[in-house]
C-alpha cells in the first residue's frame, strides 16, 4: 500500500475510533466488551485495507460491522444485572470536569440532559438503540435497514419507536 | 430550565451531540495501540486473495434468522451427534493444532464459554535478604480464586485474618471482613495500585490469551504427558504490557482449557511476582458470589462513599493498618 494511502487509513482510524467505541458501548452497555468488538471490527477492515476504500467507505462498513457484532453478542450473552450503570466510564462528574466553556448552571443542565438521554437509551432494545444512533449519525433509512437486515419500512418503525421512547424520557427538556 | 425546541430532528441532533461529547471525552490511545499491535502480527490480506466478506460484516437480520433456523436444526443434530458419541464411547476431539498460536486460539474458543472456574492461586514475591519482614507483605501465599470474565472473588488467606474480596461486574471492588459488614470501593475511587492488584489477582483467560497472541513470542515445550500441551511466552522486543514479562501456559489436550498458568510480572520498579494459577474446579456459581452482598448475611451494613464513609476508612485501617486509607482515592466533587 502506498505511504499516502497508509496515512489516510491511519487518519481514518484515529478519527473514527472513539465514536466507534462510544457506539459499541452504547449497544453493549459494557466498556471492555465494546472495546473488544471495536478492536475486532477495525482489524477485520484493516486486513482488507487494500481492497476497501476505508477513508471514504470505511465508516459505514465499520458501523455495520460493529452493529452486527454487538447484536450477535447481546443475543449470545447471558443476561446480567446492573451492567447499564457502572461501565459507561464517563459519568456526569467526569463530563462536568470536561466542560470548560459553559457556566456551572449550563453544565448541570447539559449533565441532566445527558443523564436523561442515557436513561432513554437504556430503555431501548439493542436494535432500537442501533437504529436511532445510526440515524443520528447520518445514515439513511435504507442504509439502516441494510445494516440491520430489515426492510426500510421496518427500520422506519424501529427508529420511530426509539424516537418516541427518547422523546418521553427527554420531555422535561423539550419544548412542546 | 432552558427547553430545547422539539421535533424529530432535535432528538437525533441531541443524540448526535451526546455521542460526540462522549467520544471527545474518551481516551482511546490504548485501544489504538492494541489494534496496531494486532495488525503488526496479522498484516492485511493480499488484494489477490479471494475475499469473502465476513458474516459479521454483512450478515443482515434475515440471514441471521435463517442462521437461527440452521443453528436450531444444526444444534439438534449436534445434540444427537454428541449423545451418540457419548453413548458409543466417543471422546472430545483432542488438540491437533501444531503451532503455539493455533493452540492458544483453540484455548480461546474453549474459554469463550461463560463458565465459572476455580483456580488455586499461588503468589511468590522475590524477597530481598536485607528487607525488613512485614506481616502485610508475605513472600508467598495461596488462595482460591473464582473467576468469570472480568469478575472474580477471592477467599483471602492472610496470616492475621480471613476475609473475602473481589470485583463485581460493574468494576466495584469489595471487601467483606465478616458476614455482617462490607466495604465497597467504586471504580473511580480505586487507586491505580489497587486496580493493578485486582488485575494481577484475577485470571481473565480471554484477555490473557489475546495478550499472549499479540505481544509475545510463543514456543512449544515438551509437556509432562501427552495430555498436556505447554507453551512458553516471552514478551516481544519493543512491546509493552501492564507488567507481564513472561508466561508458561499448560493446556489440557482433551478439553483445550487452561490447566495451569504461570505468570511472571514486574510492576514498575517493583519486585518480580510469580503467580501460578492451577485449575481445580469448573462449576456454575451464583451471580451473587461475585458481589459483596453474596458474602454477607442479613442484617448487614455496607460502608461506601454514600454510607458512612468514615466508618469505611476505619474498617480499612483496622484491616490494613494506617495505610488502609490509601485504599481509597479521593474523588473530586
For residue range B228-254, what is the model confidence (pLDDT) as tens digits? 889 999 988 776 666 688 899 998 888
Tell whether A87 lies on the interface with B, counting CB pairs under 8 A.
yes
| Model pLDDT for residues B91-127, shown as the tens digit of each residue | 445 555 568 888 888 888 877 777 788 888 887 776 6
ipTM of the prediction: 0.79
Interface test with B, best of A92, A173, A176 (most B CBs within 10 A): A173
Q: Distance (Å, rounded) from C-alpha B325 to C-alpha B305?
A: 13
Query: What is the SS3 assignment for A87?
Result: coil
Is B42's CB within 8 Å of A51's CB?
no
Q: What is the CA B59 to chain-centroid distance, rounded?
A: 29
Q: Distance (Å, rounded) from C-alpha A89 to C-alpha A98?
A: 13
Q: Distance (Å, rounded) from C-alpha B163 to C-alpha B176?
A: 6
CA dihedral B194→B200→B204→B206, nearest 10 degrees, is 110
Geometric angle at alpha carbon A116, from A112 and A117, rounded to 5°: 115
Average pLDDT over every residue of B210-218: 85
Chain A partners within 8 Å of B148 (Cβ): none
pLDDT at residue B113, rounded to an integer: 73
pLDDT at residue B8, rounded to an integer: 64
- Let me know how long chain A is: 176
Query: How far apart are the CA of A148 and the nearest CA of chain B, in angstroms?
Result: 6
Question: Is the model's pLDDT at B76 over the cut of 70?
Answer: no
Chain A partners within 8 Å of B25 (Cβ): 90, 94-95, 98
pLDDT at residue A78, rounded to an integer: 42
Whether B250 contacts B259, CB under 8 Å: yes
Is A173's CB within 8 Å of B1's CB?
yes
Categorize the per-residue pLDDT at B208 as very low, low, confident or very high, splitting at 50, 70 and 90. Answer: confident
Q: Which of residues 274-303 of B touch A (CB under 8 A)?
A: 287
Of the partner residues B16, B61, B169, the one whose CB lies closest to the CB of residue A149: B61
pLDDT at residue A159, rounded to an integer: 92
Indicate the range of A14-28, B164-178, B192-206 predicted with least confidence.
B192-206
Query: What is the SS3 assignment for A170?
Result: coil
Q: Distance (Å, rounded) from C-alpha B115 to C-alpha B241?
A: 26
Cα radius of gyration (chain A): 17
Helix axis angle, A126-136 to A141-148, nearest 10°: 150
Average pLDDT of every residue of chain B: 73
Cα radius of gyration (chain B): 24
Categorize the per-residue pLDDT at B42 as very low, low, confident or very high, splitting at 50, 70 and 90. Answer: low
Question: Is the model's pLDDT at B59 over the cut of 70?
Answer: no
Of the partner residues B2, B34, B172, the one whose CB lies closest to the CB of residue A39: B34
Q: Percent of chain B having pLDDT more than 70? A: 64
Domain boundaries, chain B: 99-127+204-285, 151-201+291-325
| Model pLDDT for residues B286-297, shown as the tens digit of each residue | 888 889 988 888
pLDDT at residue A160, rounded to an integer: 92
Pairing of strands B181-185, B301-303: parallel
- When mean pLDDT is compared over B54-68, B197-211, B238-252, the highest value belongs to B238-252
Tell whether A38 lies on the interface with B, counting CB pairs under 8 A.
yes
Domain boundaries, chain A: 1-79, 93-176
Tell whether A39 lies on the interface with B, counting CB pairs under 8 A.
yes
Is A90's CB within 8 Å of B26's CB?
yes
- Residues of chain A with confidence (pLDDT) below 50: 77-104, 106
Query: What is the SS3 assignment for B318?
Result: helix
Residue B98 φ/ψ, nearest 5 degrees: -100, -40
DSSP string, B8-19: HHHHHHHHHHHH
Structure-block grid coordinates of residue A163: 424516537
Q: How many other C-beta atoms are found inside a 10 Å radius of the C-beta of residue A79? A: 7
Q: Answer with the residue of higher pLDDT: A168 or B75.
A: A168
Instruction: Label residue A95 left, alpha or beta by phi (over 0 means left) and psi (-120 to 50 means alpha).
Output: alpha
Q: Which of residues 27-46 of B touch A (CB under 8 A)?
A: 28, 31-32, 34-35, 38-39, 42-46
Q: What is the value of pTM for the model shown?
A: 0.45
pLDDT at residue A168, rounded to an integer: 87
Whether A20 contacts A63, CB under 8 Å: yes
Query: What is the SS3 assignment for B236?
Result: coil
Whether A46 contacts A70, CB under 8 Å: no
Structure-block grid coordinates of residue B313: 476508612
Chain A partners within 8 Å of B5 (Cβ): 174-175
Of the partner residues B44, B63, B287, the one whose CB lies closest to the CB of residue A46: B44
Query: How far apart are the CA of A75 and the nearest CA of chain B, in angstroms?
Result: 11
Q: Answer with the residue of higher pLDDT: A9 or B139.
A: A9
- When mean pLDDT is compared over B115-119, B158-162, B221-225, the highest value belongs to B115-119
Closest CA to B231 of B261, B204, B210: B261
Number of H helices, E strands in chain A: 9, 0
DSSP string, B196-228: HHHHHHS--HHHHHHHHHHHEEEEEE--SSTTE
Q: Distance (Å, rounded) from C-alpha B164 to C-alpha B146?
A: 11
Q: Per-residue b/e over B313-322, b at no fewer than 16 CB within 10 Å? A: bebbeebbee
pLDDT at residue B46, rounded to an integer: 44
Pick the CATH number of A93-176 from 1.10.340.30, 3.10.129.10, 3.30.470.30, 1.10.10.10: 1.10.10.10
Whether A171 contacts B16, CB under 8 Å: no
DSSP code of residue B35: H
Tell whether B113 lies on the interface with A, counting CB pairs under 8 A.
no
Amino acid at each position: 500500500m502506498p505511504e499516502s494511502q497508509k496515512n489516510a487509513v491511519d487518519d481514518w482510524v484515529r478519527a473514527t475510533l472513539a465514536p466507534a467505541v462510544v457506539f459499541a458501548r452504547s449497544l453493549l452497555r459494557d466498556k471492555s466488551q465494546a472495546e473488544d468488538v471495536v478492536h475486532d471490527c477495525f482489524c477485520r477492515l484493516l486486513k482488507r485495507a487494500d481492497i476497501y476504500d476505508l477513508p471514504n467507505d470505511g465508516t459505514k462498513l465499520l458501523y455495520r460491522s460493529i452493529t452486527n457484532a454487538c447484536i450477535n453478542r447481546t443475543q449470545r450473552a447471558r443476561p446480567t444485572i446492573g451492567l447499564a450503570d457502572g461501565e459507561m466510564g464517563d459519568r456526569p462528574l467526569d463530563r462536568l470536569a470536561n466542560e470548560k466553556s459553559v457556566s456551572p448552571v449550563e453544565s448541570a443542565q447539559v449533565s441532566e440532559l445527558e443523564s436523561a438521554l442515557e436513561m432513554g437509551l437504556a430503555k431501548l432494545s439493542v436494535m432500537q438503540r442501533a437504529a436511532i444512533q445510526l440515524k443520528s449519525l447520518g445514515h439513511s433509512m435504507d442504509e439502516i435497514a441494510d445494516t440491520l437486515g430489515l426492510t426500510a419500512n421496518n427500520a422506519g418503525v424501529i427508529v420511530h419507536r426509539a424516537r418516541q421512547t427518547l422523546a418521553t424520557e427527554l420531555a422535561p427538556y423539550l419544548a412542546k | 430550565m432552558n427547553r430545547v425546541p422539539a421535533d424529530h430532528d432535535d432528538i437525533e441532533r441531541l443524540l448526535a451531540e451526546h455521542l460526540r461529547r462522549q467520544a471527545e471525552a474518551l481516551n482511546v490511545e490504548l485501544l489504538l495501540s492494541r489494534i496496531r499491535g494486532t495488525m503488526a502480527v496479522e498484516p492485511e490480506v493480499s488484494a489477490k486473495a479471494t475475499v469473502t466478506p465476513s458474516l459479521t460484516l454483512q450478515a443482515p437480520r434475515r440471514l441471521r434468522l435463517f442462521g437461527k433456523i440452521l443453528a436450531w436444526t444444526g444444534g439438534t443434530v449436534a445434540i444427537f451427534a454428541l449423545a451418540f458419541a457419548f453413548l458409543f464411547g466417543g471422546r472430545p476431539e483432542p488438540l491437533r493444532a501444531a503451532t503455539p498460536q493455533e493452540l492458544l486460539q483453540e484455548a480461546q474458543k474453549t474459554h469463550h464459554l461463560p463458565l465459572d472456574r476455580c483456580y488455586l492461586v499461588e503468589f511468590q514475591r522475590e524477597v530481598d535478604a536485607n528487607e525488613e519482614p512485614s506481616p502485610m507483605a508475605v513472600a508467598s501465599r495461596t488462595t482460591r480464586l473464582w473467576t468469570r470474565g472480568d469478575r472474580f472473588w477471592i477467599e483471602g488467606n492472610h496470616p492475621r485474618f480471613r476475609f473475602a474480596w473481589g470485583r463485581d461486574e460493574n468494576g466495584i471492588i469489595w471487601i467483606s471482613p465478616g458476614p455482617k459488614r462490607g466495604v465497597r470501593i467504586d471504580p473511580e475511587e480505586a487507586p491505580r495500585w489497587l486496580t493493578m492488584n485486582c488485575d494481577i489477582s484475577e485470571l481473565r483467560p480471554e484477555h490473557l490469551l489475546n495478550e499472549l497472541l499479540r505481544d509475545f513470542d510463543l514456543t512449544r515445550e515438551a509437556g509432562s504427558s501427552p495430555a498436556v500441551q505447554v507453551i512458553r511466552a516471552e514478551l516481544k522486543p519493543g512491546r509493552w504490557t501492564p507488567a507481564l514479562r513472561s508466561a508458561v501456559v499448560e493446556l489440557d489436550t482433551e478439553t483445550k482449557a487452561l490447566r495451569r498458568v504461570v505468570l511472571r510480572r514486574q510492576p514498575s520498579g517493583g519486585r518480580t511476582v510469580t503467580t501460578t494459577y492451577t485449575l481445580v474446579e469448573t462449576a456454575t456459581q451464583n451471580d451473587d458470589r461475585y458481589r459483596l452482598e453474596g458474602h454477607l448475611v442479613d442484617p448487614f451494613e455496607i460502608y461506601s462513599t454514600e454510607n458512612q464513609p468514615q466508618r469505611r476508612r476505619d474498617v480499612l485501617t483496622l484491616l490494613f493498618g494506617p495505610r488502609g486509607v490509601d485504599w481509597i482515592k479521593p474523588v473530586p466533587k
